[in-house]
Structure 1
Amino acid sequence: MDYQWLKTFIVAAETLNFRKASEKLMLSQPSVTVHIRLLEEQLGSKLFDRLNNRVTLSDAGKFFYIEAVRLTKDADASVSRMHAFSQGYRRNWTIAISPLMAETILPYLLRTFIERHPEVELSIRIEESEMIEQLVDNGDVHLGISALDATFKTLNQS
């Protein structure tokens, strides 16, 4: 399945207009039509209903839209991970930190951490203290830094 066909389908599904999709994608309108036709052939389903120069998503198109978005996000994330890997990063950590802590201790923590762990790429999420514990518990972030005491029994406080 061609990545560009997926991107074309997603934009066409969001605009419900092949001309607008072609403008957003900087492709010719016939190219958009060909991408959609080839994708429909590969999937064995019509993704759009066409009536009087208007297009709407078919039931199959509505179903596949969610899949196409997931597939392209996964592909984009893989490319990002490969870029990070080629730059020497071998792991990625996401840290949630409260705005106050971000202003006060984050610069020192980052400098020290990066010196000791150059192979780790860090992503920082500034979140309100009340949300941080839930993000850690859900596994949305690897580490949470907040001035509030933890209330979940499964989390450690330092």
Structure 2
Amino acid sequence: MRHLLIIALLSYAALSFAQDPADIYHKTVDLDEINQVSLEVYANDQLEVRQWPGDDILIETSVKLNNGKPHILKFFLEKKRWELAEEVNGDQLQLVSADQTRRMVQGTEGTTSETVLIVVYMPEEFKEAGNNTFRRESR
């Protein structure tokens, strides 16, 4: 009886640590010569824009793989699946999801889905000027 109790507790502990893999990573973008920023993110990603007192943009991307393995998450982080690429044209910056055609990941245990939340910390001197477009007020 005692051994069954120990096995049950160990099984519970092992299952409680077997969670879906998740990661948060950060990126900064320099805005020295930029007067306008526009954002174009993948349709299924959640996007939040928050004002902050910094001089640069800080991008915080939270990714959770549902029904996935940690090595899958690591592989796609290295392939920059969830990164916002920088496209500069004069004094305008466009942050665009690097992978616009994300394919479903088929694992050995079924299909893996992903939950992506991108929080963009925009400097306070940039004000909203349209749909996901921000302009610098001071210049």
TM range, normalised to the smaller chain? Answer: under 0.3
Question: Relative CO higher for 1 or 2, CA cutoff 8 Å, sep ≥ 6?
Answer: 2
Instruction: Give 1 or 2 for the bigger CA radius of gyration.
Output: 1
**Greater strand content:** 2
**Greater helix content:** 1
Give TM-score scaled by structure 2 length: 0.21
